[in-house]
Chains A and B, each alone.
Chain A
Amino acid sequence: MKKFAAVLAACAVLSISGAAFANAIVMNGSTTVLPIAQAAAEKYMAANSDVKISVSGGGSGNGIKAIIDGTTDIADSSRFIKTDEVKAAVEKGTYPVPFAVAMDALLPIVHPENPVSDLSIEQLRDIYAGKIINWKDVGGDDKGIAVVGRDTSSGTYETWQDIIMKKERVSQRALVVASSGAMLTTVAKNKYAIGYDGIGYVNNTVKPLMVGGKKGSAETALDGTYPIARFLYMFTKGWPTGEIMKFINFVLSDEGQKIVAETGFVPLRVLK
């Protein structure tokens, strides 16, 4: 019985110390936004020791679902909310408010040894639809094209579908990888491959292609000349108040946008 009392007391102490973080923020959603969310949360917690932010990346759909169900405070999403989701939210009496926090530009990537350096949107579409199957048809060597795409439910795929494919379907024969990192590895290891990845993930193991003569970069994404770019969002339950509002303001501040740039994405404005 004494032991039991001791355990009970320990639990009580633990729950009190847990409650010491009066300002707990739960954040969930897109794995694309995750690096920004995580770095921003760390910086914010370092400056405000009484705030506890827990970040997890379950995907844009899960994040928005959590906002609708009220199980999260902030949902990270690499896409805008869908009409069905708005309807579900309104039915449950919540009103998701979007904040654009950064821009992401997708770069078509190939193996570094590939001589091709520029493709038009139409060429990219035909390659992904399986209509162009040899590199020589787009000015490269006479060899097959190994098309690598992302899972149909990822935010990255949706952006590619909306901007490049439009109504066309990605060929069934295209390889499908499950993450941005897997995309990079797959293309870096295969000299026939073409893929696409967020600007934050592309490094020198692969060769980024220009799109219609436009080089993808922070500047060209922001000024709108580079075609494959999208906004990244954080959604809140209704208009944010208190600590959540302060955190969103922090992400949108110069300091927050610097984090965006450091994690490889495009800040919303040119920083000094």
Chain B
Amino acid sequence: MKDRLPGIVVKGMSSAGIFIMIFILYFLFREGIPVLKAVTLKDLFFGDLWYPAENPPVLGMFPLIVGTLAVTAASSLLALPFSLLIAVFVSEVAPRSVRELLKPVLELLGFFPSIVLGFIGMVVLAPWLQETFDMLSGLNLLNASVLLGVLTVPIVSSLAEEALSAVPGDLRDASYALGATRFETTRKVVVPSALPSILSASLLGVMRALGETMVVLMAAGGAAIIPLSIFDPVRPLTSTIAAEMGETPVGSPHYAALFFGGIVLLLMTLGINLLSAWIEKKGKLVQ
């Protein structure tokens, strides 16, 4: 009995975890699917007007979905090149003492509270953007993307750095033995062999930006329009759910639509997850 106890505890805990996950999924679908009684799937996905408080409510999620995609894409474009350069620098270029300082700093920055960033975006970055570019408002796609970039850089660079460090020394030695310089070794040997892990690190960063709520709630401007420039405000799904859930009558079509937005977000994350798993599998086959 005593020997079996740890096994029972572990099994119990892990099945409880899985059970809770399944329950959350069930809950999400149970609360979200009833929205289809009020609007058709086509109007929900492709309707471009979001006036949920009207009677009857107008629930077109297209601007919200586009807002989420736009802010995620823009922040990834800003953050990923930086993250990879930082990773290469920390892992391949920096001397040991600098690396030992930079690594924990990066890891700490990864846990920076997003509400503080959102506040900086609202109080510092927005007025600065507005003054500098003389636009109507500094609360827009650009502002939110920069902040989300700041949030994702530490995560991606820290994970990518680990991937680079994990490249076996034999490979580097072989490259040097063939007369390659350090730059050539990094570019042609180390980075390519760590590429699958670097890509999944990047996708993890993309998911972080996709799911972030507080920063976009405070800095993205919140207008439910399809952005035509990076100076337009956007209203991503996450901030819509956060801002509207508390005030909407429970069980109404609007309430269900917000849960449906949660399902859409979940599917997006799932898609990225599958992509990341596929890349990792591919990478293992190559090696």
Task: Please tell me the number of chain B residues within 8 Å of chain A, measured between CB atoms.
Answer: 37
**Which of A9-17, A36-44, A54-62, A231-239 lies at the interface with chain B?**
A54-62
Task: Please tell me the number of chain A residues within 8 Å of chain B, measured between CB atoms.
Answer: 39
Taking the nearest CB of chain A, how far is it from the CB of B212, in angstroms?
A: 15
A84-B137 in contact (CB<8A): no
**Residues 206 to 254 of chain B near chain A (Cβ within 8 Å):** 217-218, 221-225, 233, 235, 239, 242-244, 246-252, 254
Name the residue among B50, B53, B239, B242 with the largest chain A CB count within 10 angstroms.
B53
> B246 is contacted by which of A58, A82, A84, A190 (Cβ under 8 Å)?
A58
* B139 at interface by CB-CB < 8 Å: yes
B49-A172 in contact (CB<8A): yes
Q: Specify which chain A residues have a CB less than 8 angstroms from the CB of B139 in the assembled complex.
A: 175, 186
B223-A175 in contact (CB<8A): yes
| Nearest-CB residue, chain B, relative to A62 | B246
Complex Cα spacing A186 to B247, Å? 21
A190-B49 in contact (CB<8A): no
Q: Specify which chain B residues have a CB less than 8 angstroms from the CB of A178 in the assembled complex.
A: 217-218, 222, 239, 242-243
**Residues 127 to 153 of chain A near chain B (Cβ within 8 Å):** 144-146, 148, 151-153
Q: Specify which chain B residues have a CB less than 8 angstroms from the CB of A182 in the assembled complex.
A: 122, 218
Name the residue among A157, A161, A182 with the largest chain B CB count within 10 angstroms.
A182
**Which of B123-131, B152-160, B169-177, B188-196 lies at the interface with chain A?**
B123-131
> B247 is contacted by which of A61, A84, A146, A161 (Cβ under 8 Å)?
A61
User: Per-position contact with A for B130-169: 1 when CB-CB < 8 Å, else 0?
Assistant: 1000001111000000000000000000000000000000
Q: Specify which chain A residues have a CB less than 8 angstroms from the CB of B130 in the assembled complex.
A: 190, 192
Q: Specify which chain B residues have a CB less than 8 angstroms from the CB of A153 in the assembled complex.
A: 52-53, 243-244, 246-248, 254
* A166 at interface by CB-CB < 8 Å: no
B246-A59 in contact (CB<8A): yes
* A100 at interface by CB-CB < 8 Å: no
Given A176-B222, A190-B130, verify A154-B247 contact (CB < 8 Å): yes
Complex Cα spacing A65 to B251, Å? 10
Taking the nearest CB of chain B, how far is it from the CB of A62, in angstroms?
A: 6
- A interface, by DSSP: helix, strand, loop or mixed? mixed
Q: Specify which chain A residues have a CB less than 8 angstroms from the CB of B136 in the assembled complex.
A: 144-146, 192
Q: Specify which chain B residues have a CB less than 8 angstroms from the CB of A119 in the assembled complex.
A: none
Taking the nearest CB of chain B, how far is it from the CB of A194, in angstroms?
A: 11
> A176 is contacted by which of B127, B221, B248, B250 (Cβ under 8 Å)?
B221
Q: Specify which chain B residues have a CB less than 8 angstroms from the CB of A146 in the assembled complex.
A: 136-137
* B51 at interface by CB-CB < 8 Å: yes
B122-A186 in contact (CB<8A): yes
**Residues 237 to 256 of chain A near chain B (Cβ within 8 Å):** none
Total residue contacts A-B, CB cutoff 8 A:
100
Given A157-B53, A185-B122, A185-B123, verify A173-B223 contact (CB < 8 Å): yes
Given A144-B136, A153-B254, A185-B123, verify A172-B224 contact (CB < 8 Å): yes
Name the residue among B127, B218, B249 with the largest chain A CB count within 10 angstroms.
B249
Q: Specify which chain A residues have a CB less than 8 angstroms from the CB of B249 in the assembled complex.
A: 61, 64-65, 82, 84-85
**Residues 41 to 88 of chain B near chain A (Cβ within 8 Å):** 49-54, 63
Complex Cα spacing A169 to B247, Å? 19
Given A61-B249, A82-B249, A172-B225, verify A151-B244 contact (CB < 8 Å): yes
Taking the nearest CB of chain A, how far is it from the CB of B271, in angstroms?
A: 28
Q: Specify which chain B residues have a CB less than 8 angstroms from the CB of A82 in the assembled complex.
A: 249
Complex Cα spacing A58 to B243, Å? 11
| Nearest-CB residue, chain A, relative to B48 | A172
Complex Cα spacing A174 to B233, Å? 9
Taking the nearest CB of chain B, how far is it from the CB of A140, in angstroms?
A: 14
Name the residue among B239, B243, B246 with the largest chain A CB count within 10 angstroms.
B246
B127-A189 in contact (CB<8A): yes
Taking the nearest CB of chain A, how far is it from the CB of B68, in angstroms?
A: 15
Complex Cα spacing A117 to B222, Å? 27
Q: Specify which chain A residues have a CB less than 8 angstroms from the CB of B63 in the assembled complex.
A: 172
A151-B243 in contact (CB<8A): yes
Taking the nearest CB of chain A, how far is it from the CB of B246, in angstroms?
A: 4
Complex Cα spacing A186 to B143, Å? 14
A61-B248 in contact (CB<8A): yes
* A118 at interface by CB-CB < 8 Å: no
Q: Specify which chain B residues have a CB less than 8 angstroms from the CB of A154 in the assembled complex.
A: 247
Taking the nearest CB of chain B, how far is it from the CB of A69, in angstroms?
A: 9
Taking the nearest CB of chain A, how far is it from the CB of B228, in angstroms?
A: 11
Given A84-B249, A151-B243, verify A174-B223 contact (CB < 8 Å): yes
B247-A190 in contact (CB<8A): no
Taking the nearest CB of chain A, how far is it from the CB of B118, in angstroms?
A: 10
* A126 at interface by CB-CB < 8 Å: no
B126-A189 in contact (CB<8A): yes
A interface residue numbers (CB < 8 A to B): 31, 58-62, 64-65, 82, 84-85, 88, 144-146, 148, 151-155, 157-158, 161, 169, 172-178, 182, 185-186, 189-190, 192-193
